[in-house]
Amino acid sequence: MQAIQSPDEYAELRNSLEFWEPHARTAFDSAGLAQPEHFTVPGESTNPVLVGDNGFVVKFYGEHWCGPDSLATETEAYQVLAGSGLPVPEPVARGDLFPGGEHWPWPFLVCTVVPGRAWPEAIGKADRTTELALAAHAGTLLRGLNDLPLTGNALLRPDSPVFAELLAERRAVTVAEHREWGYLARELLDSLEEQLPDVRELLGAPAFVHGDLHGRNLFVDAERAELTGLVDFTDVYAGNPYYGLVQLHLNTFRADRELLATALDVAGWAHGPDFARTMLGFTLLHDFDVFEEVPLDLTGITDYAELAEVLWGLE
């Protein structure tokens, strides 16, 4: 492998099929798996991911873009998920492309491929009944994740401080970042610091949180109206499970509040009078640019309570 010398070079190569296919075949040989006839790159991702047509997928973890942390997080998540019955990949091998060397070893995980198609691809021609059925399945998934025992050895323990630290770090920078992103009105941003909740108000009882439930991580069979898979466990926490609703609602559901209400009702999660304001707090403190795919013009909203209602109001 040619050395990847910088984060910028990694960014250019991370989703290149031509660059990664030889290394994917090396990983499959190392794992004792039959070689697929073809590999595909499923889309843009932080870590290099190649899907074989033999039912297995390989993910590589570089030294850039938090690769070591992502490997540790995903490995621990799969340990907690083992035997849960949830529709998630099954890890079958872990190894290094270059073990024992003096340079980065390029660790990898090989997992089974989940069936179905990514939510945005599958939902395009679905009718409303199918959309609501899939939202209900998403609610079942939320309930299943919430019920997982936090048996991890580091991040996914009830006493893990990582989720609280994340919210505190985000609170310190979120106003500046939202000014840069430009989705919200200047008048709202001018008072945002005073409106943001105290981090301690958002912690709650810790549970398994998947912080990136966007549509490209959720797989469905639209014809059967079934949710068939959840992938990518690099952004998981022991924290408040409502944090996981941000990407699910604003990205996957595209801010459709009927779909959100359906999922919450099936999950058995409360959404009382304080729900919208609490969820706006999680939205503004989220680790990602979550307004990017919201199909609403929010620039005319200058009141915090109004923004909460527009995005999250269910009452």
Residues forming the active site: 212
For residues 110 and 33, the answer to whether their CB atoms sit within 8 Å is yes
Burial 21-34 (b: 16+ CB within 10 A, else e): bebbbbbbebbebe
CA–CA gap between residue 199 and residue 161 (Å, rounded): 12
Residue 119 amino acid letter: W
Contacts with 267 (C-beta within 8 Å, 6 or more apart), sequence order? 139, 140, 142, 143, 146
For residues 143 and 157, the answer to whether their CB atoms sit within 8 Å is no
Nearest to 236, CA basis, from 148, 297, 296, 110 = 148
Q: What is the 3-state secondary structure (H, E, C) of 11-67?
A: HHHCCCHHHHHHHHHHHHHHHCCCCCCCEECCCCCCCCEEEECCCEEEEECCCCCCH
